[in-house]
Amino acid sequence: MPFKKVGTDDYTSPSGRHFNSAQVRLYYSNGGKFPGQKMENGGMVLAKGMIPVNMKYAEGGPVLGRTRDFMKIPD
């Protein structure tokens, strides 16, 4: 969405809406999305040049056979 400067601290989008310079900077810093804007394909907004990475999370291992009593004198 290229913004066009129409006045001091006033920009116009192709749809005709007016934005100030802080809003335009926020738009470009988020990679062409405003905060809270719906994302495509349920993904997240990434910085320019970044690609999504599949994360591998920790998996549970086998249960250890060790048991330990913390009481010195059993009840």
pLDDT tens column, 39-62: 655 555 556 666 666 667 777 777
pLDDT reported for residue 44: 58
Residue 69: other Cβ atoms inside 10 A: 6
Between CA 18 and CA 8, with CA 47 as vertex, the angle to 5 degrees is: 25
pLDDT reported for residue 63: 73
Compute the distance between CA of residue 39 and CA of residue 25 in angstroms, rounded to an integer: 19
The set of long-range contacts for 40-45, using a CB threshold of 8 Å and a minimum separation of 24, is: none
pLDDT reported for residue 41: 54
Q: What is the mean pLDDT of the chain?
A: 76
Select the more confidently predicted residue: 7 or 61: 7
Compute the distance between CA of residue 19 and CA of residue 23 in angstroms, rounded to an integer: 6
